[in-house]
A and B are shown apart, each in its own frame.
Chain A
Amino acid sequence: MSLRTEEFVVNVGPQHPSTHGVFRMRFTLDGEIVKDVEPIFGYLHRGVEKLMEMRTYKQGIPMTDRLDYVSAINNNWPYVLAVEELAGISVPQRAEFMRVIMSEMQRISSHILAVGSQMNDMGSFYTVFMYMFREREKLTDLMEMVTGQRMMYNYMRFGGVSMDFPAEFVPQLKKFIKVFPKYMAEYEDMLYDNEIFLARTKGVGCFKPEDAINISTSGPVLRSTGVDYDLRRDKPYSVYDKFEFDVPVGKNGDVYDRVWVRMEEMKQSVRIIEQALDMMPGGNRFCSKVPVALHIPEGFTYKEIESPRGMLGCYLESDGSDKPYRCHFRAPAFINLTALKTMLVGQKLADAIIIFGSVDLSMGEVDR
């Protein structure tokens, strides 16, 4: 008598403690090995692109904040860049540096959340998460000092930013930058020396560079496989060509490399913020004059920036009126999600959750 085994279908989500957001996966399992995975999403679809067509250009800026709510400031940027190019608005230097400083702070805080919740998925029960969130809380307080908001900042405007830095912001930021490397050393201690962490992340979810390019992944997922491409260095926008920073590139494309790339990127962000604070011109010109009812000549453009999750782009088409004709966002998390099937098939179920966490999705961006 032979034993008959069959595959069974397990549904993970949409409500689940470890899917970051409302996301559903249907695994076809054979014992513990994943044979197939089908991602199902759309639970957070709000029709942002259609809604932006009904609102003026300026009213669209808060809508972009809600796309990738974890790193909200970075979402304003490609939209604002696209409008500035079509309308021919120039940005004062001081405002450019302010944009860079806020975006890099947001990058640190987004990576803290990514690595912290990755450790959480592995079962370390919030300890590492809580330690890392101590720093994120300080960053959020600093952002609240500038923008008045803790999450949906609505900070950038066409031609600059919405308000100047208050007087107490720069000294506090400098204090934070001085102290942060010591905390980074603490996190590295907690992660890289932990035998169980290494056992669960090295060699798990390997991803080849040819596959990474074919699937159009970007950001840490692409750089962890060994492909050296970062928009800030290779196609610099704003004032990124003035800074000196490295781009961390991984070797194997496994989960460990992605965590390592994110930790190193945090250090590089600190370098950029230091240089930006030194180079920032004084004065108080933080925004060019832009008419209230902004009409933009006909045309289309596509602008991209490097957000913590990958290459975030905005395709903007205008028909001469004061509302966008078509605004589409190239969401990096949406496209990185395509890689999930390649990475997960053949792995165990317990690893599947960890690999999924390392892709670092933000459902607001995936569903738009």
Chain B
Amino acid sequence: MDDAVLVTTIGATPWYENFWVHLAIGAVVAIAFFFFFIVMYIWTERRVIGLFQGRLGPNRVGPLGLIQSVADVIKVMFKEDIVPDKSDKLLFWLAPFMAFVPVMMILAVVPFSENFQIVNLNVGILYVLAVSAISSIGVFMSGYAGNNKYGLIGGMRGLAQFISYEIPLILSLASLVLISNTFSVNGLVQAQTLPNILMMPLAFVVYFVASLAEISRTPFDIVECDSEIVAGFNIEYSSMKFAMLYLVEYGEAVVTSVLVATLFLGGWHGFFIDGPIPLIIKMVLVFLFILWIRATLPRLRVDQSMGFCWKFLLPVALVNLLFTAARMTFFPDLSNWIVIPASFVFTAIVIYLFAGLFKPGRKVAEND
């Protein structure tokens, strides 16, 4: 492995390898990256979904509507901050922070280039999984604290969905760890001579679908479906707290696309140059794919979504883990030319077989 970035010795180190300087620069870069991409994502989403639907997106504020998000943030800041009388005040104030901050913390272990990441944790994957679970508590807290039935329903649905889909997520990451032999995120990227999506397409499918459900995106957006329970868990919030909860959704989308690009698409490996630019391109491509799914599909009902997780995704993830473990034990040095086509065939077979087991619809009456 190449040079680790974090140097913890104090004293005879140059200033740019000083721990505190590095931490300060890293924090600034991470926060700037995070907020910049949230704003870009909001703009991209509105314009691209407009393209899908045959209309323009925002096109008044600034050239191509680029400053629309800024205008929205300013509008939201000037709104009156209403706190319902019967709500649980402490939880009401705490919930947006608890939902928002952990999402940002995930960026601490993502390698932006070969030499630069904020913390080179050797259990990076575990850290990511642990921290992302905290934000789901924040979402449920916000639904509960508003003392509103709609919020409660939304919060409970979200929590149930989040907990259920964590398991296939972790299982697919476990199979990644098996072939790369390391838990650290930078190690996973460096072990990808070929992107992991080619080596393990089934793990990619499981991870992608599970993380769509984690970030509550269509078709799993029962948490915030605005045509059924009005606004779900953030129904009682206004002004900055609402803005934070709204940013949570896009922040999670940013972090998910960064993680998918890092873990499966090769991270900072690029065709001609390595570094942050290929990472950003891959990130945006993943996000466009998430948008495409949102523009096309309607949403699943909550029991169908749960059924999909427990009856389809979990068995598929388990099968994937089993076969990966078998392959690493018995054929550790198989050539890539055999592994890649075999993986794709294996993926197709498993998905076809398991899709027969799970039908999301209901049995129709006898006269059909």
A and B touch in the complex (CB under 8 A): yes
Q: Give residues in A with beta carbon < 8 Å to B.
A: 8, 10, 16-18, 32, 119-127, 130-131, 134, 194-200, 202-204, 206, 251-252, 254, 348-351, 353
Say yes or no: A127-B302 contact (C-beta < 8 A), given A198-B361, A199-B361, A202-B361.
no
Residues facing A in B52-67 (CB within 8 A) are: 52-55
Say yes or no: A252-B54 contact (C-beta < 8 A), given A10-B149, A351-B301.
no
Report whether B365 and A127 are in contact in the complex, using a CB–CB cutoff of 8 Å. Answer: no
Residues facing A in B221-238 (CB within 8 A) are: 221-222, 225-228, 230
Q: Once the chains are docked, how many angstroms separate the CA of A120 from the CA of B227?
A: 8
Report whether B301 and A130 are in contact in the complex, using a CB–CB cutoff of 8 Å. Answer: no
Report whether B301 and A348 are in contact in the complex, using a CB–CB cutoff of 8 Å. Answer: yes
Q: A32-B303, A353-B227 are in contact. List 4 more A-B contacts (CB 8 A).
A: A8-B149, A131-B54, A134-B54, A199-B304
Report whether B230 and A17 are in contact in the complex, using a CB–CB cutoff of 8 Å. Answer: yes
Q: Is B218 an interface residue (CB 8 A)?
A: yes
Report whether A252 and B367 are in contact in the complex, using a CB–CB cutoff of 8 Å. Answer: yes
Q: Once the chains are docked, how many angstroms separate the CA of A270 from the CA of B109?
A: 61
Sort A-B residue pairs by CB-CB distance and give the 6 closest, nearest first: A123-B299, A122-B298, A124-B298, A203-B362, A199-B360, A130-B53
Q: Once the chains are docked, how many angstroms separate the CA of A349 from the CA of B222?
A: 12
In whole Å, how far is A50's beta carbon from the nearest beta carbon of chain B?
Answer: 35
Given the complex, which residues of B lie within 8 Å of A203, measured CB to CB? 361-365
Given the complex, which residues of B lie within 8 Å of A119, measured CB to CB? 298
In whole Å, how far is B140's beta carbon from the nearest beta carbon of chain A?
Answer: 17
Report whether A17 and B365 are in contact in the complex, using a CB–CB cutoff of 8 Å. Answer: no
Q: Is B290 an interface residue (CB 8 A)?
A: no
B149's nearest neighbour on chain A, judged by CB, is A10
Q: Once the chains are docked, how many angstroms separate the CA of A125 from the CA of B298?
A: 7
Report whether B368 and A252 are in contact in the complex, using a CB–CB cutoff of 8 Å. Answer: yes
Given the complex, which residues of A lie within 8 Å of B227, measured CB to CB? 17-18, 120-123, 353
Report whether A204 and B362 are in contact in the complex, using a CB–CB cutoff of 8 Å. Answer: yes
Size range of the chain B interface in the assembly:
35 or more
Given the complex, which residues of B lie within 8 Å of A17, measured CB to CB? 226-227, 230
Q: Give residues in B with beta carbon < 8 Å to A.
A: 49, 52-55, 149-150, 153, 218-219, 221-222, 225-228, 230, 294-304, 359-365, 367-368
Most chain A beta-carbon neighbours within 10 Å: one of B230, B296, B298, B304: B298
Which of B54, B225, B297 is in CB contact (< 8 Å) with A130? B54
Q: What DSSP secondary structure best describes chain A's contact surface?
A: mixed
Q: Once the chains are docked, how many angstroms separate the CA of A325 from the CA of B368?
A: 50
In whole Å, how far is A350's beta carbon from the nearest beta carbon of chain B?
Answer: 5
Q: What DSSP secondary structure best describes chain B's contact surface?
A: loop
Given the complex, which residues of A lie within 8 Å of B228, measured CB to CB? 18, 121, 349-350, 353
Report whether B298 and A123 are in contact in the complex, using a CB–CB cutoff of 8 Å. Answer: yes
Q: Once the chains are docked, how many angstroms separate the CA of A121 from the CA of B365?
A: 24
Report whether A202 and B364 are in contact in the complex, using a CB–CB cutoff of 8 Å. Answer: yes
Q: Once the chains are docked, how many angstroms separate the CA of A280 from the CA of B225?
A: 49
Chain A-chain B contacts (Cβ-Cβ < 8 Å), number: 97
Q: Once the chains are docked, how many angstroms separate the CA of A206 from the CA of B366?
A: 12
Q: Once the chains are docked, how many angstroms separate the CA of A194 from the CA of B230?
A: 25
Given the complex, which residues of A lie within 8 Å of B364, measured CB to CB? 202-203, 252, 254
Report whether B218 and A123 are in contact in the complex, using a CB–CB cutoff of 8 Å. Answer: yes
Report whether A206 and B360 are in contact in the complex, using a CB–CB cutoff of 8 Å. Answer: no
Say yes or no: A125-B300 contact (C-beta < 8 A), given A202-B364, A203-B362, A252-B365.
no
Given the complex, which residues of B lie within 8 Å of A18, measured CB to CB? 227-228
In whole Å, how far is A249's beta carbon from the nearest beta carbon of chain B?
Answer: 12
A208's nearest neighbour on chain B, judged by CB, is B365
Report whether B361 and A125 are in contact in the complex, using a CB–CB cutoff of 8 Å. Answer: no
Q: Once the chains are docked, how many angstroms separate the CA of A203 from the CA of B301?
A: 14
Most chain B beta-carbon neighbours within 10 Å: one of A120, A122, A131: A122
Given the complex, which residues of B lie within 8 Å of A195, measured CB to CB? 360
Given the complex, which residues of B lie within 8 Å of A351, measured CB to CB? 301
A357's nearest neighbour on chain B, judged by CB, is B227
A351's nearest neighbour on chain B, judged by CB, is B301
Q: Once the chains are docked, how many angstroms separate the CA of A124 from the CA of B298?
A: 4
Most chain B beta-carbon neighbours within 10 Å: one of A10, A16, A195: A195
Report whether B300 and A196 are in contact in the complex, using a CB–CB cutoff of 8 Å. Answer: yes
Given the complex, which residues of A lie within 8 Å of B296, measured CB to CB? 124, 127
Q: List 17 A-B contacts (CB under 8 A).
A: A17-B226, A17-B230, A18-B227, A18-B228, A122-B227, A122-B299, A123-B218, A123-B299, A125-B294, A127-B52, A127-B53, A130-B55, A196-B360, A203-B361, A251-B367, A252-B364, A351-B301
Report whether A196 and B219 are in contact in the complex, using a CB–CB cutoff of 8 Å. Answer: yes
B226's nearest neighbour on chain A, judged by CB, is A17
A197's nearest neighbour on chain B, judged by CB, is B298
Q: Once the chains are docked, how many angstroms separate the CA of A10 from the CA of B364?
A: 29
Given the complex, which residues of B lie within 8 Å of A353, measured CB to CB? 227-228
Q: Once the chains are docked, how many angstroms separate the CA of A21 from the CA of B179?
A: 57
Report whether B297 and A196 are in contact in the complex, using a CB–CB cutoff of 8 Å. Answer: yes
Given the complex, which residues of A lie within 8 Å of B53, measured CB to CB? 126-127, 130-131
Most chain A beta-carbon neighbours within 10 Å: one of B230, B295, B299: B299
B54's nearest neighbour on chain A, judged by CB, is A130
Q: Once the chains are docked, how many angstroms separate the CA of A324 from the CA of B368?
A: 49
Q: Once the chains are docked, how many angstroms separate the CA of A127 from the CA of B294?
A: 10
Report whether B302 and A350 are in contact in the complex, using a CB–CB cutoff of 8 Å. Answer: yes
Q: Once the chains are docked, how many angstroms separate the CA of A17 from the CA of B368?
A: 33
Report whether A194 and B297 are in contact in the complex, using a CB–CB cutoff of 8 Å. Answer: yes
Report whether B218 and A125 are in contact in the complex, using a CB–CB cutoff of 8 Å. Answer: yes
Q: Once the chains are docked, how many angstroms separate the CA of A206 from the CA of B364?
A: 9
Say yes or no: A350-B222 contact (C-beta < 8 A), given A124-B298, A131-B54.
yes
A134's nearest neighbour on chain B, judged by CB, is B54
Q: Once the chains are docked, how many angstroms separate the CA of A216 from the CA of B304?
A: 34
Which of A120, A127, A199, A254 is in CB contact (< 8 Å) with B300? A199
Given the complex, which residues of A lie within 8 Å of B365, measured CB to CB? 203, 206, 252, 254
Given the complex, which residues of A lie within 8 Å of B362, measured CB to CB? 199, 202-204
